[in-house]
Chains A and B, each alone.
Chain A
């Protein structure tokens, strides 16, 4: 290295000497290392320059300038190579990466004017990671600055702690607005000149950067997770998006929020968190799935890393199948569904997993009443490749052992588990690939002779490429599978195994282009190939050697159904002016069933939503959606059973169609601390399948003969008040909604309720919810969850008669009565880990109580004939007692 210094000094001396001799002032240094240049500047310009040389730093620089401005030219060259240059007290600090903070943040002692940039440091944006508010980041080529117009600022937002991409961060700059996608990428268009760019997200310190825009440029941003602030935003990015874009009915759920919501057995549950939102209901506790704005459970598209999840629950709905330790966030679209989504007519729940810590190997362990969890993540070789691996396993057998012998289930077993793996590799700032795999399974045996299994599995590969400042493209492909099976040996001569499964293979391409400062378009398409095996039954011979018995069951397999769903879409977010925004989307959805019952369907779908904001804190929105669904869940129960089978459309089973019109008003007050919203909607659903009386729905080759099409209508208003800052955060919401169905069978059939409208099983008109979190100190907070709703509809017997030797029932019209109203309150105390960042491991604990008022909420009311001998009425309460719980988590 010394040779380099000497050589550089010689070259410089020679050049300077020659300059003197020639009376010229040009100085040139060619291909010199950074430390040589620093030495040269120190010796020749008398400046104190602090630079810590890194032996691995192979940077070489070339500077040519007249002698007078050589120092500035050298500083620029240094910056262009990724160094930050800070000046404090006439001393120069040359650092790699983050610039030296030479002053307290703006407004530290007083509220300074945001426009006052005295003392600010100017940092060239090249290869700079922005993280400080007291700097001005220069975007674009200063030498080729644009005099007017605008420039595109794009980059990635990552966690300063782990380097993980931050999803759903709101990026607001003037009139431009963007949300970071699942790789943390954003792109906004800003006018040339001085700008402010604001970044905000859940549990993140809000960051406002000062930008000097010369043209297009990159700006990667590091954000700090909120550690000690008591002003944690609940969903701060949503607050901003409410007024900045035209989308309605979009709820973004961060997993950190999910962990504060009290849940049964203390298992943090993303599905349960979703059900705390207005417009989302379930048919009761321990229900599989959820109902959105009057839609049925199978009308929700649940995506996990792009894979379709057909059954999102463990233990038949008691907890969800997603491990929150590996989940990053979720978005629920219940009204304005982006055109890139399709295939279900009610809502989309898009869940993303985390990408893993890019800086160091970390992990966590969790211990709860039902499960143990483990998760490990970190870089693989370099920061560019990360992984995350998580797993969860239950020891719920102890619950079975609690059952009394007389119950008949004391010998039962209950087991479930799930696992996640994600690997992400960043080729460059423009190219990234990620692979994800997910698996979950449940196995139950209750009676000793009957075993149930069901399982979800998915694997996906996603490649992201940033084409240029305006365009990014995402390619993804994957496979997912849902399977269930049942072994029944209750009668040995007819012991059998029944199973069914659904398999999807898909390819998607999603492209986003910022056309102008007023138009941002998205376009792409997808192809989903579905292979559905509706049922196979096999004989199972008794294995007892002392009592061998051959099953007489005839093995049968229903025809496998094949379907392919190609679709194309395009949408445009059109910012007409500051006040008006219009999102317009169209999707050409099609489906072809393959095989003997081949049939082709094609439907155009429209997605419109518009925003009018007369004031910065007041917005009016309206929208319209149409959706198509080519797969049906065939069920005869109110709660979806894991043994229910799916059915693809064919020549006799037509697709479901859905339309929704919605409008809303959004108002933010108390200096942004309180958001009020009021949304109303009207929805129609066509060809939702019900079944004829006494229908056989499984292993029935003539299933279409047993099904009837119904029409549905739903309408309602949702009011929500959300407090996003302060010690108390949370929301209260009230929903009035109705959901009704009507049998559209022919007159020859026995129509449900004689063809009149009847209540859908999830029609609960009044729904009042409260979710709150109060932070006592930095580490201790109390969460409360309250839920009141009208009892769900139920069909009950009105009369009785004797038949076949015993009492039988004559039932009311379908869903003509209701179970008692529902009310539940849960409390949880959350003890956050120590904020001492130097500690090797951080321990956190949650303890709480589910249903603390011990209210016996009815899941259902029903009557039994006790084998025909007598009649008695019963009420099932799933969680009839308070369920205290404690959860331990260790993060290292």
Chain B
């Protein structure tokens, strides 16, 4: 039962934390050579576009992973009735988009790839049924917001895989009220508060492999299955948060492959961690059957997705404010120019009016206090964003 492994992994991490220390370890100086293995990532989507990405395994210490993308190659899908589904649209090697929208659901399919004069193909597979996505919701406890998913399959599918995309709207800590006159070396009150860098948007796509089996349950359903935990003072919850979850069902073999991949990546290193396992997929080289190819290509129905919005109210806990510098309003004969310049050159900016101990003045803070983009976001609202 895989779940027990997960718990033992948590136990393992806990014991490690309890009794041990974790230090950075420089991989590049210890281990160098990588293995050049072909990686085929794809799932045949019957009824939608099929995306194929080809790459090679690159050395761990390498920095330019684009060097290990295949420069040439082609991919297509075949069905057991002789049908062929080729790449469409602008092809950017090594990624392909195959038009499998019209592929009938009652046939068997396989993916074929040709790279460097070698032919690769998968086993024949029948499409997994589409699940019903019952909902995406969240719950809040003292420290954390938990995002959960509810889905089920009326067709007997027991293995679910999902991915998600997050978007969130947030703002900088302060609306800028002051400017700095670099020539005069003085603080200038703006005519209007500057909102141009106050509101931002950011996004993130899931990078973890999210999957779950219902083989131990009395129904083929996920019920409020927590999969993402966000601390309540996380900036993602500052204003408005959105998550779009796409779910599909996968085969037992694909589940086993992906679970092993997940264990090898996420549950390693601590006291009771499982040893890494070999991950063999279902892509075979026609010319050399012993060639090791990374990847498991499954055959699925199109994903179903739902979107959840969460507003900050009642969810977000504002963290302690950023430290700032306070400068009292200078007297007429006070020369603050040098002091201001030192802080301006040090990356600080005048932000807002403030008081301290009854004295009026200007708060100076780091630039990120007034420019939300410095936290990684951008100013462009997503096209489908709903306020």
Contacts and interface: CB of A to CB of B under 8 A. Distances in A.
Q: Do A and B bind each other?
A: yes
B17 A409 contact: yes
B359 interface: no
A752 interface: yes
Interface string B51-75: 0010111111010010010000000
Interface string B3-16: 11101101110111
Contact of B31 (A316, A817, A865, A874): A817
A132 interface: no
Interface string A801-831: 1111111111110100100000000000000
Interface string B251-276: 00000111111001110111111111
B351 to A, nearest CB: 28
Given A552-B218, A817-B31, A863-B27, A798 B276 contact: no
Contact of B207 (A446, A491, A869): A869
Interface in B12-37: 12, 14-27, 30-31, 33-35, 37
Given A412-B14, A639-B272, A798 B60 contact: yes
A318 interface: yes
B37 A805 contact: no
B217 interface: yes
A407 interface: yes
B168 to A, nearest CB: 17
B1 A696 contact: yes
Interface string A856-880: 1001111111011101111111111
A876 B218 CA distance: 40
Contacts of A498: 1, 4
A862 B258 CA distance: 20
B221 to A, nearest CB: 7
Nearest to A697: B5
Contacts of A371: none
Interface string A210-224: 000000000000000
Contacts of B8: 637, 641, 643
Contacts of B2: 696
| Residue of A800, A863, A875, A880 with most chain B CB atoms under a 10 A cut-off | A800
Interface in A770-798: 795-798
Contact of B217 (A317, A553, A881): A553
A548 interface: no
A797 B60 contact: yes
B3 A286 contact: no
Contact of B279 (A494, A638, A693, A867): A693
B216 interface: yes
Contact of B257 (A694, A809, A859): A694
A488 interface: yes
B21 A801 contact: no
Given A698-B1, A878-B20, A554 B261 contact: no
Contacts of A873: 24-27, 30
Contacts of A407: 17
A808 B20 contact: no
Best-buried of A450, A805, A856 by chain B (most CB within 10 Å):
A805
Given A554-B216, A693-B280, A803-B41, A876 B207 contact: no
A797 B268 CA distance: 11
A699 B2 CA distance: 9
A811 B269 CA distance: 13
A297 to B, nearest CB: 13
B277 interface: yes
A693 B278 contact: yes
A403 interface: yes
Contact of A552 (B14, B41, B221, B259): B221
A399 B17 CA distance: 11
A888 B65 CA distance: 59
A245 B308 CA distance: 78
A637 B273 contact: yes
Contact of B60 (A450, A863, A868): A863
- Looking at chain B's contact residues, the main secondary structure is mixed
A494 B208 CA distance: 22
Contacts of A877: 20-23
Contacts of A800: 34, 57-60, 62, 65
A877 to B, nearest CB: 5
B244 to A, nearest CB: 14
A874 B23 CA distance: 6
Contacts of B216: 494, 496, 537, 553-554, 556, 699
B196 interface: no
B19 A318 contact: yes
A878 B269 CA distance: 12
B232 to A, nearest CB: 13
A251 B106 CA distance: 70
B224 interface: yes
Contacts of A698: 1, 4-5
Interface in A598-638: 636-638
Interface string A683-702: 00000000001111011100
Nearest to A287: B271
Given A799-B58, A805-B205, A864 B265 contact: yes
Given A494-B216, A810-B34, A867-B208, A694 B256 contact: yes
Given A797-B60, A876-B16, 15 more contacts: A286-B15, A316-B271, A444-B11, A446-B14, A637-B8, A695-B277, A698-B4, A795-B276, A798-B59, A799-B35, A800-B59, A801-B57, A863-B268, A874-B25, A875-B22
10 contacts: A414-B18, A450-B11, A488-B7, A498-B4, A750-B278, A761-B275, A799-B60, A868-B208, A873-B30, A876-B21
A-B pairs with lowest CB-CB distance, top 4: A862-B269, A868-B207, A806-B207, A446-B14
